[in-house]
Structures are given as C-alpha cells and as structure tokens.
Structure 1
Amino acid sequence: MISVVIPSYNRRDCVLALLADVHAQEGADFEVIVVDDRSPDNSVEAIRAAFPQVTLLVNEKNGGPAVTRNRGIRAAKGDIIVGLDSDVTVPDRHVLANVQKRFNQHPNVTGLAFRLYKPDGKSEDTPRWWHPVPIDQYADKSFLTSYFSGTAYAFRREELIEAGMYPEILYMHYEEVELAFRILDKGGSILHCPELSVLHHANEVSRRSEVSVFYKPRNQLLVAVACLPGLKAVQYAVPRMAFQFLTACRRGHLKDFIRAMRSASQLIPRRLEKREPLRPETMKRIGALKQGLAP
C-alpha cells in the first residue's frame, strides 16, 4: 500500500485542492495522511469537513517541514511513502499507480524523484531543480541522481526510516539534501522519473525571504559539518559562506547573515556529536552522478 503524506501549514485552499486530486487517483491502494503544522487559518476544520476519511494529525507546536514530514512517515501504514507538499496539484490520475509500477520495475531503487512543473503544466520548475545534471538535457529523462525535492517524491518506507528521515534540526531548507546524502551512504539510490509529475504552485509561504537570508546559509554550514569528510566540508562550506556573505552585503541582509552564523554556531556542537561523514565510496558516487554517470 502507498501512504500519501502531506505536510500543511496555512494553506487551506491549496491542501483541499490537492486532496481532491489525490482522492481521484486510480489503480492504486493508498491511504492519505495530512500533518498540520499548527496552521493559524482554519485548515484543520476544513479538511475534517471535506475529507473525513483522511488521517489528520495536528502538531502541538509549529515544528517546520522536517518535523511535520517525519511525523507523517512514522504514522504511515504503507510500505511506500509518497510525499506531496500542499502547494502542488496532481492532474494525472495515475501517478500513484505509476509509482507502484516504477518500484516494481526497479526493486533495488530506494526513491523516486518527481518532475516538477510550474502551474502552466509546461514550464519546468527550474528553481527547484537541484539535480547534479543540466535541466535542459535531463528533465525529460530517467536518471540516477543525488537529490530529490521534498515538493514531490516517493520512497520505500523502511529505507527512508533507516536513513534517519529528515534532519529535524534544520527546521526547513536543505533537509532533502542531507537525507539524500544519507540514503546514498546506506547504499540506496534515487531515480528521477519524468512521467511522475506534479504542478507546483509555489505558495507564498514557501517564498519567504527568511529561507534565503537565514536558513540557507545556516543549513549549508550545518549539512557540511554533519555529513562531509574534513577537507570536503571545508571545500563545500567556505565558498558558499563567502558567496552568502557577499550577497548579504550587496542586498542589505548582513544582519540576517550574522544571525544565521550565530544560530549555526549554537547548533554545531549538536551536529558534531552525531557527525557521520559520508563514506569515500559515497563521495565517488556523488561525483559520478554529477557527470551524468550511473555508478
């Protein structure tokens, strides 16, 4: 069975539209779990009224996307997790059936990365293309990758849990990057599947400047500390911190950058306690994937 896990925060109309699409799916056995992250609107009441068959969980306090997704994954009964952010729609009624088909075709694949379109259904959602290969050459192809977007994905539940699920310490942003690293380090693989597609409506909640000026530089540093071997961590973090610093100066966000670095310094000891550098074999795989190779 497939468990569809939908994290939701302050997106009542969006999540209702998504739930309508999910419940229109054909050819698959599935359950639906919505985890509300203490929305200040009436999302909870609206979901209960319109979709009483949905398993609805409500966080006691706002925990962020990583916490919210993990709660849904833990509650899931299916052996496959399909994660959909609440600001997507799913016009294709056979997406879940195709997810099951793909996993049957590729028994050794851990996860599937969906193709993300803009609302017009034709344009690629380029800001969320973080795969290690060029979007213009690979968007319509199946390929092994070192990344997936939390906007829309599918994973085998047991392997997702074994990899540690989303790192909750990050709150939001770069949590998929670290989880992808952990999946690869466990010997798993992620396959980009262009036929598994959703429309991403990029709700304003997800475009807050706080993501770019605070969470991005902070979490880039925290991921490097937790995941990358010594020299690789330095090579990863230093140019990114320099770029973020210069960008903050140019755009007038220096105070935010300093705040991000202060927060990172407070969290680094906790990251060092559980630091697990990626294996050399994993680093080689990631390097090969950047060249479009399938190790």
Structure 2
Amino acid sequence: MSIKFSILITTKNRLTDLKITLARLASLLNREDVECLLYDDASSDGTVNFIALHYPHIKIFKNKTSLGLIHNRNVLLKKCLGNYAISLDDDAHFLSQNVLENIVDYFELHPRCGVIACRIFWGKEAPFSMHTNEVAKRVKGFVGCGHVWNLQAWRTIPDYPEWFVFYGEEEFASYHLFKKEWEVHYVPQLLVQHRVEVKARKKDADYAQRQRRSFRSGWYLYLLFFPLKTIPKKMVYTLWVQIKTKVLKGDLRASKGLVLALFDVILHLPRLFGESNRFTVNEYQEYSKLEETKIYWQPENEK
C-alpha cells in the first residue's frame, strides 16, 4: 500500500513528552498507509537510541548541532512521501477519532484548502468534554502544534523562513497561500491536545527569548507582506500594546525581549524590504475580512 499520510514531529531533549506522544499515536503509526518522520535537533537525552530500539519503522533525522525548529520542519516537508502531512509538536496528540478519514474527506470536499488548522486544547490534562458546536470555516492562519498540509499546496510556496528562528513561520506560509489562492480551514472535528500550561511559561528560563522572537516575527511579517501605507500604524499600535501590557506592568524580561526585538527588526530591514511580497490593497482588504486564527479551544461551558 502506498503512503498517503506523513506524521511529522520535531523534538529536542524532550524524550519524556515524546514517549507519551508516540504511545498515543500508536493506532495511526501502525497503519500501512502512514509514515512517521521525526527530526531530532541535537538532543542529548538518548532520543535517537530510544526511537531506533522501540520504533524502528520511524524515519529519524538528527542534527549534530541545533539548526532550529523551522529548518527541521522544512526538511521533513521535503522528505515526506504522503499526500497529506500531519504536523504535531512532540508534546501533542489527537483526542478525536477517525482522524485520517476526516482529513481525506475534508480535503476532497474542499480542493482549495491548503492547510487544515486543528482544534487545539492547551493543558496537561485532557478536557472534561470534547464536544463542540463549532463548525469548519475558513480562517486566516494555523498553529504549528497541530495542523495538516495538503502537500500540493506546500509545494507552491516558499519554504518556511529559517531566519525567523522561532515563531511567525505559520503566518508567513498563510500569507503566501492566500496570494496563491489557497485557503486555510479550521476543522474542529480534528481535536489535538497540546500538553502545555501556557500561563506557566512565564516561569521558564527562555521566557524573554520567546517574547523577543514573538514580537519581532510580527513586525517582520508586517514589513514583508503588508501594504506600505498600513505599516507605520500597525507598528506603533503593537508597540504601544506591548509597552502598556508588559513594560508598564513591570515585566522586565518581556521588556528586554521587546527592546531586543526592535534591534532585530532594524538589523534585518534590508532583507525585509528585499524579500517582500506585499498584498495589494484589495488583497489586504480581502484577507482582513477572514476570521482570526483559532489558537485556543475550551469546552463551551468553560468560556
């Protein structure tokens, strides 16, 4: 049987989480029409040996030195053999049933859909209810921890921008897809649990670095894609929001990330203008009408 689905996972020194993910994907990994590709970004926790011993059918790639999440995702998307590429973080797994069947059915019914954005629950414990009244719809973008590529669409746009390092690559792809007349659809039938407590991230050692990369990726995207006349207002507004919600409230690590992000933007200005692929005014207006990216989901009676 030919490969129809490729499950793509990147990891670095998170073997404990990865073990859980692979165990919960077992029913998918054992199918003949499914391949799994895993990219180990220079782990030192024995990930490669564990995979070779317990999952010999998984195709594993390893960096001797870290090259970053975005580089690794680009490689996996080029190496996979399926028609559809399911991208999951190493701490994410499906909760819904009939995942593959729902993927095929949806793409066949919506031939201009380039990416399916899954419904994502963020939390260490599974939600008390998986029911939702949400319906599938077209949206602006998708989240890295749980989405599915129609690889025909992926091959029509540039690779993810590795120089972003972390954050922003999904929006970059979404803008290019829009310009190529592909669509991103939120499909709530596909429910993913991302086993992360978002509020706890403020305590992580890399919090300031995450803030820096998050801030700058948003500004990078404005400068790469938005009509020139819209950029100053967008830049000033988002800067003021960060000052009001982070700097003035005494979040010193976020403040440091904000300052460094501004330097990053200045440093990359020649590249940002040289590689720009701007929306026309009409394209920008049409894109702006789309529903926002669905990032977080909670059971209805918790909202």
Q: Structure 2-normalised TM-score?
A: 0.83
CA drift at 1:280: 3.2
Which residue is 1:130 aligned to?
Answer: none
- Counterpart check, 1:273 vs 2:274: yes
- Counterpart check, 1:262 vs 2:263: yes
CA drift at 1:63: 2.3
Q: Are 1:5 and 1:84, in contact at CA under 8 Å, matched by a contact in 2?
A: yes
What CA distance in whole angstroms lies between the structure 2 residues aligned with 1:34 and 1:226?
31
- Counterpart check, 1:162 vs 2:156: yes
Which residue is 2:247 aligned to?
Answer: 248
Partner SS, residue 24 of structure 1: helix
What CA distance in whole angstroms lies between the structure 2 residues aligned with 1:232 and 1:211?
28
CA drift at 1:5: 0.8
Letter in 1 for 2:75: R
Q: Which residues of 2 match residues 1-295 of structure 1 at below 5 A?
A: 1-25=4-28, 29-117=33-121, 118-122=123-127, 140-202=134-196, 208-246=206-244, 247-249=246-248, 250-253=250-253, 254-290=255-291
Inter-CA distance 251–83: structure 2 relative to 1 (3 Å threshold): same
Q: Are 2:92 and 2:195, in contact at CA under 8 Å, matched by a contact in 1?
A: yes
Partner SS, residue 57 of structure 2: coil
Inter-CA distance 224–10: structure 2 relative to 1 (3 Å threshold): same
What CA distance in whole angstroms lies between the structure 2 residues aligned with 1:7 and 1:139?
32
Q: Are 1:28 and 1:96, in contact at CA under 8 Å, matched by a contact in 2?
A: no
What CA distance in whole angstroms lies between the structure 2 residues aligned with 1:81 and 1:271?
29
Q: Are 2:6 and 2:81, in contact at CA under 8 Å, matched by a contact in 1?
A: yes
Q: Are 2:94 and 2:190, in contact at CA under 8 Å, matched by a contact in 1?
A: no
Q: Are 1:214 and 1:256, in contact at CA under 8 Å, matched by a contact in 2?
A: yes
CA drift at 1:291: 8.5
RMSD: 2.5
Percent of residue pairs identical:
19
Q: Are 1:115 and 1:139, in contact at CA under 8 Å, matched by a contact in 2?
A: no
Letter in 2 for 1:252: L
Gaps of 5+ in 1: 125-137
Gaps of 5+ in 2: 294-303
Inter-CA distance 59–93: structure 2 relative to 1 (3 Å threshold): farther
